[in-house]
């Protein structure tokens, strides 16, 4: 069974579904032939390998390309379907809003468009970097809905409140203007909900396609990108003296390095945070850095042996990946000893809290403990206890935090009078 017919064998056998399967299969087959033809796979020189092994490598690459292009084409069809549905719903919403509120409905849309623009600029700024995507989506959806409801239900209240401001023209808060704002707000909310639903359906469909098709290979997406990157470098090497050809080759290498970073760690196989996942993630980072280093070689290499060496290295890596030989692919690559992580605001807040919280406890103990009856009876020692704990609080701010309870107990033991037997 071919790579795409296995995916497209669904639905009852009736004329409509038969025509849908036939048109979908034809579209996918055309896309596969187009991508394989553009990759120029037959021109790849896997010299130094047996003829049987070369044939096996090309067959594995073609099958991986066919599977990945099938998934991408089906995902594109789902995306086109959801886009068309959203567009149809929006046309329907605009028509209903125009019939309901008249031409002022479009003025209300302009007002809400200004709101969306300002909110988008805020959400994309550094001030909103800590906001989650769910919170931002809730602002986009709920605020127009909550704001537009009073315009429709209580227009007299809105008009009386707006009339207190003499600089606002009365036409701005007329019943027609308020109604247009309310209707356009509802349409805007409907638009956001339609877009969110379309994105959710699109993501669910693509995830279902990838998880329910058992014939998918572990490196199909990476093999497709690697093949197309090699083809781009080979195509650029034919006219290496131009700026565009060098830029095209370097862009292909950047795309390949990004694909290696995302696909080579095999995050779908291991539990996040496990030791095996960390090892595969380190391998992906090391290989991505190694592949990205080809940009330096391409920018320095003239057309000749140095450029041929880069192409040969890429072809060797493609052959190892097609055969699934992960160990051979990582043989000459320097491993990543320690993975650096970008420090987020949560990490900063946690480190500050770890340093400030012990100081607050020591300072609070310095203020409160001397008033305890047993400590207060010590006289001068109570004052010394307060000074000791405050000094400890200051020192813990500028030094590594230790056991706070131990510090307080030690200071308290010195301040309390010892019991004589």
Q: Are residues 321 and 353 in the same domain?
A: no
pLDDT band at 39 (very low <50, low <70, confident <90, very high): confident
Q: What is the rounded end-to-end Cα distance, in angstroms, of the chain?
A: 94
Q: What is the mean pLDDT of the chain?
A: 75
Closest C-alpha to 67, from 20, 37, 42, 31 = 31
Q: Are residues 185 and 295 in the same domain?
A: no
> For 136-182, what is each residue's pLDDT tens digit?
666 666 666 666 666 666 666 666 666 666 666 666 666 666 666 77
Q: Are residues 132 and 197 in the same domain?
A: yes
Are the C-beta atoms of residues 246 and 299 closer than 8 Å to each other?
A: yes
State the total domains in the chain.
Answer: 3
- Of 415 and 123, more confident: 123
Is residue 9 in some structural domain?
A: no
State the burial class of residue 178 (Cβ atoms within 10 Å of its Cβ: 0-12, 13-18, 19+): buried
Tell me the residue ranges of DSSP E strands in 56-147: none
Chosen domain end from 212, 240, 268: 212
Structure tokens at 15: 């004329």
Does residue 229 have a pLDDT over 80? yes
Is residue 404 in some structural domain?
A: yes
Does residue 380 have a pLDDT over 60? yes
- Of 411 and 267, more confident: 267
Q: Are residues 204 and 288 in the same domain?
A: no
Q: Are residues 224 and 207 in the same domain?
A: no
Q: Are residues 124 and 61 in the same domain?
A: yes
Chosen domain end from 212, 233, 266: 212
Q: Are residues 94 and 164 in the same domain?
A: yes
Would you state the pLDDT for residue 341?
47
Is residue 158 in some structural domain?
A: yes
> For 79-113, what is each residue's pLDDT tens digit?
888 888 888 887 887 777 777 766 666 766 676 77
Q: Which residue has the tokens 């809290």?
A: 353
Chosen domain end from 193, 212, 231: 212
Compute the distance between CA of residue 172 and CA of residue 175 in angstroms, rounded to an integer: 9
Q: Are residues 206 and 289 in the same domain?
A: no
Is residue 340 in some structural domain?
A: no
Is residue 180 in some structural domain?
A: yes
Q: Are residues 206 and 82 in the same domain?
A: yes
- Of 294 and 372, more confident: 294
Domain with residue 282: its CATH number is 1.20.120
Is residue 298 in some structural domain?
A: yes
Domain that holds residue 377: 345-415
CB atoms within 10 A of CB 378: 17
Compute the distance between CA of residue 249 and CA of residue 233 in angstroms, rounded to an integer: 5
Compute the distance between CA of residue 421 and CA of residue 415 in angstroms, rounded to an integer: 18
Would you state the pLDDT for residue 12?
47
- Of 407 and 358, more confident: 358
Q: Are residues 41 and 145 in the same domain?
A: yes
> For 336-354, what is each residue's pLDDT tens digit?
655 444 455 566 666 666 7
Is residue 1 in some structural domain?
A: no
> For 171-206, what is each residue's pLDDT tens digit?
666 666 666 677 777 777 777 777 777 878 878 877
Q: Are residues 152 and 83 in the same domain?
A: yes
Residues 6+ apart with CB under 8 A from 401: 354, 355, 358
Does residue 117 have a pLDDT over 60? yes
Does residue 27 have a pLDDT over 60? yes
Does residue 6 have a pLDDT over 60? no
Is residue 334 in some structural domain?
A: no
pLDDT band at 306 (very low <50, low <70, confident <90, very high): confident
Q: Are residues 224 and 208 in the same domain?
A: no
- Of 235 and 303, more confident: 235
Structure tokens at 264: 């080579």
pLDDT band at 419 (very low <50, low <70, confident <90, very high): very low
């Amino acid at each position: 069974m071919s790579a795409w017919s296995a995916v497209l064998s669904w639905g009852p056998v009736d004329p409509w579904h038969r025509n849908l399967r036939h048109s979908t299969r034809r579209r996918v087959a055309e896309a596969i032939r187009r991508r394989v033809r553009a990759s120029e796979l037959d021109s790849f020189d896997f010299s130094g390998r047996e003829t049987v092994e070369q044939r096996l490598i090309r067959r594995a690459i073609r099958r991986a390309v066919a599977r990945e292009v099938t998934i991408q084409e089906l995902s594109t069809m789902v995306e086109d379907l959801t886009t068309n549905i959203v567009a149809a719903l929006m046309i329907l919403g605009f028509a209903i809003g125009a019939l309901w509120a008249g031409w002022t409905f479009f003025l209300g849309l302009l007002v809400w468009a200004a709101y969306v623009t300002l909110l988008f600029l805020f959400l994309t700024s550094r001030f909103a970097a800590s906001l989650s995507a769910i919170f931002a989506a809730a602002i986009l959806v709920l605020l127009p809905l909550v704001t537009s409801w009073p315009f429709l239900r209580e227009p007299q209240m809105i008009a009386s409140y707006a009339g207190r401001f003499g600089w606002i023209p009365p036409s701005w808060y007329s019943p027609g203007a308020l109604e247009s704002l309310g209707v356009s707000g509802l349409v805007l909310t409907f638009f956001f909900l339609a877009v969110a639903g379309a994105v959710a359906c699109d993501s669910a469909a693509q995830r279902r396609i990838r998880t329910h098709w058992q014939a998918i290979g572990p490196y199909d997406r990476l093999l497709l990108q690697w093949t197309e990157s090699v083809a781009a470098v080979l195509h650029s090497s034919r006219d290496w003296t131009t700026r565009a050809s060098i830029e095209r080759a370097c862009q292909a290498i950047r795309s390949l390095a990004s694909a290696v970073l995302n696909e080579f760690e095999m995050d779908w196989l291991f539990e996040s945070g496990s030791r095996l996942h960390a090892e595969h993630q380190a391998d992906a980072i090391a290989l991505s850095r190694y592949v990205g280093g080809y940009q330096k070689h391409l920018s320095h290499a003239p057309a000749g042996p140095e450029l041929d060496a880069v192409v040969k290295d890429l072809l060797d890596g493609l052959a190892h990946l097609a055969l699934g030989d992960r160990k051979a692919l990582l043989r000459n690559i320097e491993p990543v000893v320690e993975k650096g992580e970008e420090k987020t605001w949560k990490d900063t807040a946690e480190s500050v809290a770890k340093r400030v919280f012990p100081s607050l406890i020591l300072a609070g103990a310095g203020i409160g403990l001397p008033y305890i009856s047993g400590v207060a009876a010590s006289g001068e020692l109570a004052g010394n206890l307060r000074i000791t704990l405050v000094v400890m609080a200051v020192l813990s701010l500028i030094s590594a935090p230790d056991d706070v309870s131990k510090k307080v107990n030690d200071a308290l033991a010195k301040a309390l009078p010892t019991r004589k037997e």
